[in-house]
Every structure is written in structure tokens, then in C-alpha cells.
Structure 1
């Protein structure tokens, strides 16, 4: 006699099985996740990542050759380090980063992530960037030589020529591209700083600018416009050309931009000055420089602080205008000295390089 199946017994199903719809959903979700993962790794992200770059000792060697060499002037032995610092930039036009790279950089305090549109104009190309950085490096080296010679009171010649006019320029229709500035109100223009001083001294009144144009001198009258900083300006872009009494060569390739100017100038001063400026100590720093020795702000200073400390520097020379970015971000073991001019930088290195002087009187970004 056959027993009836109990309620809890499952009878075998010999017909075709139906796939659980949950399996299909999981399978599709897995494919979507995999696709998103591939996209995260491969698709470009509109960000620029800055990370600590290598340092270069301006009084040392690179590829067995002096980084700075002087021909036609006596030089003196140096020691220690005067490192220029760099930032490695990824995410420029033509070299995009992925979303994964950006997230990884956000999680690393040594790196900075910035929207590309805040760093590069939308129509700039990779070749444009390389060209501009190379031109800025060349200009910074020339300005560094001029600043060093000014500090050492070695005479040289500088000429200023107009290479363009700013928007709403005070000189529109008056000064022209190619004009060489000769004098202001009859006083010779020997460098950019005296020109600035003369414009500010005029207080917005019209000034007479003597220029060399097509082989002859022409006197033009310009009424300077006050800028947002309170300085009076002609509204022109100027290019400096120098005639130095001897040759200075900088052997540094694949590094662009103007931010090494101050450290180049320090290296030149050390080589041309009897005695060892650093006292054998290891310094690093950054900052643009003009021919008068004024030190200007740069980008990526937090990454440069880390790069300097990783390279063994104990003192970092920072532009005064960058101090707000420095405070609270100084690596352990690194001392930051605030500088506004090449004279400040030389004084700081000489002071801290001397025996038994802790440089307590030197300015910091917190003072």
C-alpha cells in the first residue's frame, strides 16, 4: 500500500528549471560594477595632481657637471646644499589622470588635487605649456644672474622693451610693441624697479616716456592707471634683456617654470663670494626673483616643503607671500625662514651657516 507524501516532502521536479531572477540581477550588477571599475581606472578625470618632486643642489653637480658654471670671473669653493625644489604635476592637457588616481591623491596629504580649469586655460595644449615653462625657466635664470650681480654690486646693463599691451592699457595708441624704454621724465630707466618707483612717485600724473623706436628716440606722454595693488602702471608687458660682464650657465633640463629663481641667485652668490656661504649646512627653498632681488610667490609650496625634507634639508627659505599656505604644514625637522628679497635669503643662509648662531632673529612664517 502506497503511503501518501507528507506535507514536508519535496517531490522531484523532472521538468525544465526556471532561473531565479535574483541571479540575473546579481549578474548584471556584477557586470556594471566591473564596468565602473574599468572606467575609474581608465577614463580621464578633469583634475591636476601635484606631488613632491626632486630637488637639485644649485652649488652641486648634475650628471657629473656643475649645475651652475661661471666663465670669465673667479669663483670659490662651496659646500653644503642650496636646493631648488620642484613639484611633479600630472593631469595636464595631453596627460590626463584617472578618477582612481584623483581619489588616491585626495587620500594622500603629500599631494594636492585641483580642478584642471583652475590651473590651465581651456584652449592650452601640452606643447604650449612646455614652451611657456621653458621660457619662464630661461627668464628666471637671467633674472637670477642679474639679482646676484646686483647683490654683489657688480655692474651690468638691462634694457626694457614693450612686448604687448594689457587690456584697457593706459598706453593704448601711445606705446608700441618693440619700443625700448629709455627714460621717464628725463631720468634714465636702467631697470624695472626704478621705473616702478618713478611711476608711483608721479602719483597718477602724466609722465614723459622716452623710447627708442625705429632707430630714433621718441617722447610719449602717458597717464598711468592705478592697479588693484595701489601701484601706478603703464599697462604694458615688458621684457628684460641683459648684458652681463661674464657668462653664467645653468645645466638643468626637463625642469620648467620661474620658481627656482631665488635658489639660482643664491647659488651664484655663493660661487662668486669667497668663503662657504652655507657653512656646510643643507638648505632648500623656492621663489621667483626679479633683477632687483625681490622674491615672489610660487605654487605647490606644501609639496616642496615635503620634497625638501625628504632630501635631507633642515632649513627652507619660503617667499613671504606664501606664508599663509606654510603655517600648519611644515614637516617635522624642517625650519622655515620667511624671505622677501635676495638680501634676506643670503643673510639667513650666512647666519644659520655660521657656528654658534641659531638665527633666532630671523623671520619665520609665524612671526
Structure 2
């Protein structure tokens, strides 16, 4: 056999051996890729995404698409060949497995966490939209969670309305921690609450809950690092009562990143005309009750997915702008937003054709 032929054969066999080995070598990585986009103004699986009753709504046109990212499951074992292919692929992103599933988080735990975040993002989107339209929303501070094996367990319950701490009226969730930490560990703190069951009954009967209870709890010592402080073992949050019903019908989606687009879709449904001027606008971003837009993960995947569906403009959280601007899909304009007001202003420019005035994302 000629030397050249023998060398080529040996090289080919070695390459085949390496490829075969790569298939069987698992690496600690996961993959992200563009996921589906859904028009919040349209339908999904045969029914409107946004369903509003008890308030006049208006016909809408155009697109206000929320965007998603696909990720490999927690128990997926990526091999070396797949990892290399993912690194080379333009529209996919290979990341360390712990980035998506930290501390050994299981698929079930991740799904549950994403579902909770998605539910909370929907509620915040509703509140932010109504506040943007100056529609009054009733709000109150509640016990959001109770930590197991802490003084509050069995004394306070998720959904209890916190009216006061030590007689001082509570107006925001942060007030609770501030009032509790005025104490030293081992001291008593008094919570004035409306029990969750009483609050639920009052809401069902469209009345104001009036029956309150005083719960005295002995504080414990915090276990975190740094200066020790008094705790009772709860986290406080906010609950709301809307003046009419808003339902968001979208299954198989998780996480908080659709908040901004849901809020804009609600505003569009509740106002004459349309926000987009018939243009295809997509976007992403978490949203708070007060309309602050926060960053999300997988921004590069979301811009690709949006452009593939035909988006012309992409509403981008300001803290994601630099990353998104490194590789912008051709034909897509990235618009920087930090609040729902910013988004509303950008949409006004888009439908008015004043695209030169848009605050665009840059790499720095």
C-alpha cells in the first residue's frame, strides 16, 4: 500500500475513532436555542391569549409578541460532539449545566419554579398595565411564604394580610422586615393580620375584610453571614384586587420574562386604536407592579426567534442591550426600554414612523 494512501487511511480511521469516542463522552453542558414566539394580541391553541371581561375592549392589529428560549432538560446528557456542534452553531448557545440548573436542581423543581415566576409575572403585568392607564387597583401587603422550622410556622400563613407590625401600619412589603429587625433576637413582635380565609371570603363577597387578629411571635436569630438580626421566618409580598377580570391563557410557558409584553397587550386591548400601527413588534423583559422592566436570560436566542417569525422591532430591557447588540439579526431593530413608559413611547414612535427617534441598543 502506498505511503500516502496508508497515511490517509490511518487519519480517516483516527477521525472516526475520535468521533465515536466523542459520542460516548458526556460533558457538563446544556444547550439554549430560540423558542416559540406568541402574539399577545392574537390566539394560541384556538383561544385568545388575553381575555378581558367586565370592561370595554377594542380590536387590535399588528403583533406584540412575547418570546421564549428552549433549553435541554435537567437530566439530558450532552456528549462532546453535540457540545462542539452547539459551540459552532450560530443560533444555539452551549452553557455550563449549572447555569440552567444550579445546585443540582431537578427538572421538576425547575418547572415548578418557572411556573410560579410565570404566574407572578402575569399578575404584575396586569397591575402595571392598569396603573399605566390610571385605572385604580386595590393593593395590600401579605405573607408570601413561611419558612419551615421558624417562629412564624403555624402562626402566620401564606395569604394573611399584614395590616401592622407592633401597631405601625404596613404600607409596603419592605416595611415588614424593617419593623421586625428593630427587635433583638428573642424579643416579641406583634403582627396585626387579616387571616387569609377571611380575606378570600371578603373578596368573593366583594366587601372589605374587617376582622383582624393580633399574633405575637418571639423572634429568632438570623443564620446568614454578617451581623445577626431578628427574624420571624416569613417573606412579605403584595396582593391585588382588579376592578375587572383579566385572564392570560398561555400554557407550557414558564419564567417571568413575558411580563412586559403581556402588560403592553393588555393596554392595547383596553384602549382605542392600536399601539403598533400594524407593525410586527416583539420583545421581552420582566415587569414590576410599578412598571419597571428587568433583564432576562437568553436574549440572543430571543432576538433570533423573533426575527425568524418576522419581527421588525424588538423591545429590549436596557440591562440586556449590550449583549443583544453584539449580534443583531439582520432587519431587526433593538429598542432599549427600562419602564413600561419607555415602551409606550417607543411604540408611539414606531406607529408614527419616527424610527430615527427610537432609543436603540448599542454594544456599550
The interval holding the TM-score normalised by the smaller chain is 0.7 to 0.9
- State the match for 2:48 in structure 1: 66
| Residue 128 of structure 1: aligned partner | 109
Per the alignment, residue 151 of structure 1 pairs with 132
1:287 equivalent in alignment to 2:268 = no
Query: Could you say if the C-alpha distance between residues 141 and 42 of structure 1 is closer, same or farther in structure 2, counting changes exceeding 3 Å?
Result: farther
Q: Where do 1:231-310 residues align within 5 Å?
A: 237-310=235-308
Deviation at 1:80, TM superposition (A): 0.6
Per-residue Cα deviation, 1:80-130 (whole angstroms, up to 9, x for no partner): 10010111111x322232222111110023221111123212332111111
By how many angstroms is 1:28 displaced? 11
Distance 2:321 2:234 in 1: 29
In 2, Cα distance between equivalents of 1:56 and 1:279: 18
Q: Is residue 110 of structure 1 aligned with residue 108 of structure 2?
A: no
**Structure-to-structure mapping, 1:1-367, within 5 angstroms:** 36-90=18-72, 92-159=73-140, 160-164=142-146, 178=157, 180-183=161-164, 186-189=168-171, 194-196=172-174, 211-212=192-193, 215-217=212-214, 237-353=235-351, 355-358=352-355, 360=357, 362=359, 364-365=361-362
TM-score by length of structure 1 reads 0.75
More helix by share: 2
Larger radius of gyration: 1
- Residue 63 of structure 1 deviates from its aligned partner by 2.3
Shift of 1:162: 3.8
Compute the displacement of 1:242 (Å). Answer: 2.7
SS of match in other structure, 1:122: helix
Q: Which runs of 5+ in 1 are unaligned?
A: 1-25, 167-171, 226-233
Distance 2:282 2:116 in 1: 23
Count of residue correspondences? 328
Q: SS in structure 1 opposite 2:314?
A: strand
Q: Over aligned residue pairs, what C-alpha RMSD do you find? A: 3.9
**Unpaired runs of 5+ in structure 2?**
1-7, 184-188, 196-211, 223-230
State whether residues 152 and 234 of structure 2, in contact with CA within 8 Å, keep that contact through their aligned partners in structure 1: no
1:164-193: per-residue Cα shift (whole Å, max 9, x none)? 469xxxxx868975353325784552xxxx
Structure 1's 109 and 209: CA in aligned 2 closer, same or farther, altered over 3 A?
farther
